[in-house]
Structure 1
């Protein structure tokens, strides 16, 4: 009966034995902060080159829009000689320079469109940077959670090995049956398998973090501070609104460009005739105004209106999504804090309970099964506290991400 009871204790310990004792949060190997990690991830992002090229493109468009010339100037040279039998020997040379020029309304709308395009690229740059920060936050806390699981499995294996060693000594002393020793040993093997799987998952999570950030290890895992003051508009929402503004400016530009830009030309003519002593020089000015129509420009205006409708729909969806994400993140933070408080209170109570059971066991008032169960419950509560600390850190990061806050 004694051997049977102890076998049940061993089986119970294998089920309820703790995965991890309380320990301080793991310290970073490098001196990196979350801000430097995100900056490094941004520098490694493939979006940097694309967005920088678009910034240069927008700057070039703004520079072009400031010019009154609507296209490349044209320089022409012509010469005419009189080959008739009149013996006048008339010769004529003409040099002209022409260029299309914007009308005041066309130039203003193009400048406005170029400015809105530049603002759109800047907003998209901030949006992309926020997206990279969100990915870093996810990878960071994913790796932290995987490390917690590995630490739990390691601690579980350590306790199983200690228990198996104690049982083996009693089997050799004849106090327990060999079946009890085999039962304890198989629990050790099961714990070893769990550790190997957890180590693989932790390595995979850390590898994804390293590929994204370029840092070998995690920074300090203290929860991100939350700001109570009013924050600027979320970068995602700002980018959507900037796209709407750019599309509206595009419509105004299309409406102002119903006709092609007029061309202005200046010419210098030199005429010389044998019978005239002095050559004749003259200066000419020409202006060509193309006649546009609403039908000619209707496709461009329709396309601009379509872009406005699409951008407005995207902006409305982004606004609803940003508000929902912030509300959900706030609720998750409250739930994570409540769970941590409850887990901490439970762990405090169970530590006191274990102390009382161990004292009673030393006095012979309690059995071994109660001591094992008290230890298992206490360690389980300690593990829950550490897991909830990770969940709280992730909740802080998600709330800052939903609000569009960069560290």
Structure 2
């Protein structure tokens, strides 16, 4: 009896020494382990939503989309104004002259005149070319805004997929921890395990429950962010088609097209500034009715006038300098955009290769940890292994499963980022 008590005390002391390390590990069921949640299960949509539909929904809520019709109408109105033969709004002049306040000799004169501003030579054509360049660049700018929004949607979908994977694994971990705690409790009652093993298993079950709640809260927060971004409850799959083995940038990349059209618009603005060197000329057409004295006959006359403003450096130099500065900035932005899209493509290709290697490595790690966990669990059921060893094996398997699930989402995210770098919408 003395030897048995010493054996139990020694075993109890060893178990207490291993408690801090074992608490940080996960537990698993004694039954065969559940399969790792796949990407499809981690990001399954709730309403059959596709990624393209999500981008369309987010675009419909964006300020750029909601103001697009008004901006098009603004360009059309400016084009109609540039097509008119007058350059501005007409003005009317009404005047009366008399001598009733001094000698009152009967002098009366009435005058009416209509003043029409007209285009200076070459200004109308330059204005129309500027508006044509702005209209040409409107759609590429909308595409750039849509592409940037697509990047947000893709990243949000990936974040929700990762969070749902972590939530599913946390629920599995909690279920396995409860099963293990019940098994250990039966062993304690049967005298096959020390009381400290039962307390440790219960503590790990509570820890798994806390982890499950944290994962659920993180998922709920990301789902709310998704709802605010797209207005949709369902989160689509990250199942974009992978581009060719050696993708290259297309000249039709939205960012490149938008930068090129901005250069064209800046050139047209500079041309207009250099052509429009004075305020609009105006033509006046007037009629005058005059009576020189009481009893005299009234005389009518028609007056034609032309007003030609003079251009000065005080008016023209700031406008031309500003237009040249805009052109320089647009050309610099085009150069920067070309470098940026090339860099983004190279980075996306490197990340895709890294994601593939990571997934392969994590798959091998998950396979090995599954085999080790199965052997340790069998040994524990046969009484050939202790609880801390079982917990270490369970924890390693859980970490391997979580890393593999994240790697799967990471691979799909890398494909999405490559499509994003190529300027492709879902």
- Indicate the TM-score class for this superposition, using the shorter chain for normalisation: 0.7 to 0.9
What secondary structure does 1:264 align onto?
A: strand
Please point out which of 108, 115, 133 is paired with 2:125: 108
Residue of structure 2 equivalent to 1:292: 311
Distance 1:309-1:60 versus aligned 2 partners, 3 A rule = same
Check the 8 A contact 1:9/1:372 in 2, yes or no: no
In 2, the alpha carbon distance for the partners of 1:127 and 1:42 equals 12
What secondary structure does 1:287 align onto?
A: strand
Residue of structure 2 equivalent to 1:22: 36
Distance 1:231-1:287 versus aligned 2 partners, 3 A rule = same
Check the 8 A contact 2:289/2:298 in 1, yes or no: yes
Please point out which of 178, 192, 198 is paired with 2:195: 178
What secondary structure does 2:116 align onto?
A: strand
Distance 1:133-1:362 versus aligned 2 partners, 3 A rule = closer
Within the alignment, does 1:38 sit opposite 2:38 as a pair?
A: no
Distance 1:9-1:367 versus aligned 2 partners, 3 A rule = farther
Note the aligned Cα RMSD (angstroms): 3.8
What is the 5 A alignment of 1:332-347?
Answer: 332-347=351-366
Residue of structure 1 equivalent to 2:136: 119
Q: Answer with 90-99 or 42-51: which moved more.
A: 90-99
In 1, the alpha carbon distance for the partners of 2:210 and 2:157 equals 25
What secondary structure does 1:15 align onto?
A: coil
- List runs of 5+ in structure 1 lacking aligned partners: 84-88
What TM-score, normalized to structure 2? 0.79
How much has 1:114 moved relative to structure 2? 1.4
What secondary structure does 2:306 align onto?
A: strand
Distance 1:102-1:368 versus aligned 2 partners, 3 A rule = same
In 2, the alpha carbon distance for the partners of 1:66 and 1:289 equals 21
Residue of structure 2 equivalent to 1:241: 260
Please point out which of 64, 70, 89 is paired with 1:47: 64
Distance 1:325-1:229 versus aligned 2 partners, 3 A rule = closer
In 2, the alpha carbon distance for the partners of 1:20 and 1:287 equals 91
Distance 1:206-1:20 versus aligned 2 partners, 3 A rule = farther
Check the 8 A contact 2:26/2:173 in 1, yes or no: no
How much has 1:14 moved relative to structure 2? 6.2
How much has 1:12 moved relative to structure 2? 5.3
Show CA shifts across 1:183-220 (max 9, x none).
Answer: 11111111111111111111101110011111112112
Distance 1:151-1:80 versus aligned 2 partners, 3 A rule = same
Within the alignment, does 1:259 sit opposite 2:266 as a pair?
A: no
Show CA shifts across 1:104-130 (max 9, x none).
Answer: 410111111112222333332212111
How much has 1:75 moved relative to structure 2? 4.2
Distance 1:188-1:358 versus aligned 2 partners, 3 A rule = closer
How much has 1:173 moved relative to structure 2? 0.7
- List runs of 5+ in structure 2 lacking aligned partners: 1-6, 101-105
How much has 1:340 moved relative to structure 2? 1.5
How much has 1:101 moved relative to structure 2? 1.1
Q: Answer with 346-355 or 159-168: which moved more.
A: 346-355
What TM-score, normalized to structure 1? 0.83
Q: Answer with 227-236 or 106-115: which moved more.
A: 227-236
